[in-house]
Amino acid sequence: MARSLFWEDGALVVLDQTQLPHRVEWLRLRRWPEVVEAVRALRVRGAPALGAAGAYGVALAARELAANPQEFHERLRQAAEAIRSARPTAVNLAWGTDRALRAAEGAPEAEQAAESALAEAHRIVQEDERACRALAEAGARELGDGERVLTLCNTGALATLGIGTALGILRAAWEAGKRVHVYACETRPLLQGARLTTWELRELGIPFHLVVDAAAGWLMARGRVDRVVVGADRVAANGDVANKIGTYTLAVLCRHHRVPFWVAAPLSTVDLATPDGQAIRVEERAPEEVTWFAGCPVAPEGTPALNYAFDVTPAELVDALVTDAGVLRPPFGPALRAAVGGARV
Ligand code: MRU
């Protein structure tokens, strides 16, 4: 089954998701700048997987920098800053990086610091595996038998350290014997839905159709969608949700067609320090991701393209936040504070 990353023999091994579905290629990252490159290039991606990648990046940096213990902590902090800022929107990247950094800073000697950072990264992996399972089961319990569920991007095992979030719910429902049909939006411009979600769904044997992103409204108008379930890159304290570009459009369509709109995320994606969606920095990526397709130009040379990787959906359009602390309903502010305050997975 799909797996996003693991630690082996002093290296962070990541499945290069830019090569899927055509090639299954594992990369052995031994130096922390390689982690930064892999994150920027989306070789490893999805909020929870980025959290672990960030933590392992700090562990690699600590091992590397321990060879010369002079100003070790200062140089480690600089490496962590570079890792943390490789992508700005998914809060898990900063969260995982900072957890490993804090663990390292608690150790007096450089070598111990490297061990502590690595142990923290392993803990993040274990916690996410449990969180995915808990939220997937919580969501699956509420899903009706025979539902047709539309989803965006990839939120499965490839995006996490467990069975996934939005896709994890569908998998848990399927494995519990419920019939499910998935509409996987292709997810322009990098096609995480077409390349990755379809790949996971085929492995799982869950029936699905791949659809273009623009088909969502028409499918809803034809009464073919019972629910939309997506993941999240950051959930603000008031319940506003940053997620893959197109999520907001889906939420608006859902409200118009009275289709329930769910967001699935572990509590590690909840950022109580960010009051609302306006305070979330939305990543803008290279225009060539839009003006080129599969290595070929598709727009006249010099075409300006705006390439926002994410958008922000206001909390008022979200019907439920499915978390490892259970299914939260509006008003999300108090529900999130209570869930994060009592979070134990
Ligand atoms: O740009 P990506 O592929 O990292 O974007 C991923 C998403 O938007 C996911 O929905 C989100 O990270 C949740 S993954 C469980």
pLDDT digits (tens, 9 = 90+) for 233-271: 999 999 999 999 999 999 999 999 999 999 999 999 999
Substitution candidate for ligand 1 out of 229, 230, 244 with most atoms within 8 A of CB:
244
pLDDT band at 345 (very low <50, low <70, confident <90, very high): very low
Nearest-CA residue for atom 10 of ligand 1:
231
Alpha carbon of 266 to ligand 1 centroid (Å): 13
pLDDT value of residue 163? 98
195 in contact with ligand 1, CB cutoff 6 A = no
- Domains belonging to the chain, first-starting first, are 5-130 (1.20.120.420), 138-344 (3.40.50.10470)
pLDDT(344) > 60 = no
- Which of 40, 233, 241, 261 maximizes ligand 1 atoms within 8 Å of its Cβ, making it the mutation to test the pocket? 233
Measured between alpha carbons, how far is residue 107 from residues 37, 63, 103, 117, 261 in Å?
28, 13, 7, 9, 45
Q: Is 159 in the pocket of ligand 1 (CB under 6 A)?
A: yes
Residues in a beta bridge with 15: 26
Going by C-alpha positions, the residue among 325, 129, 117 that lies closest to residue 235 is 325
Cα 214 to ligand 1 centroid, rounded to whole Å: 19
Q: Residue 128: helix, strand or coil by DSSP?
A: helix
Question: Does the CB atom of residue 264 touch ligand 1 within 6 A?
Answer: no
Helix (H, G, I), strand (E, B) or coil at 27: strand
3-state class (DSSP) for residue 272: coil
**Which residue reads 């259970």 in tokens?**
326
Q: What is the pLDDT of residues 277-328, one digit of tens each?
A: 999 999 999 999 999 998 999 999 999 999 999 999 999 999 999 999 999 9
What are 192-243's pLDDT values in tens digits?
Answer: 999 999 999 999 999 999 999 999 999 999 999 999 999 999 999 999 999 9
Which atom of ligand 1 lies nearest, measured to the CA of 45? 4
Q: Which atom of ligand 1 is nearest to the CA of 165?
A: 15
Cis peptide upstream of residue 331 (ω within 30 degrees of 0) = yes
- In the 8-state DSSP scheme, what is residue 281? P
> From the CB of 88, is ligand 1 less than 6 Å away?
no
CA angle 67, 37, 60 (to 5 degrees): 25
Whether 51 contacts 128, CB under 8 Å? yes
Kindly compute the dihedral angle of the four CA atoms of residues 55, 337, 322, 165, in this order, to the nearest 10 degrees.
0
Rg (CA), the chain: 20
233 is catalytic: yes
Asked if 166 contacts 151 with a C-beta cutoff of 8 angstroms, the reply is yes
In the reported structure, the alpha carbon of residue 67 is separated from the centroid of ligand 1 by a whole-number distance in angstroms of 35
103, 139 Cβ separation under 8 angstroms: no
Among 98, 128, 213, 233, the one annotated catalytic: 233
Rounded to 5°, the CA angle 94-100-106 comes to: 130
Ligand 1 proximity of 244 Cβ (cutoff 6 Å): yes
Which tokens in the block code for residue 274? Answer: 């960010």
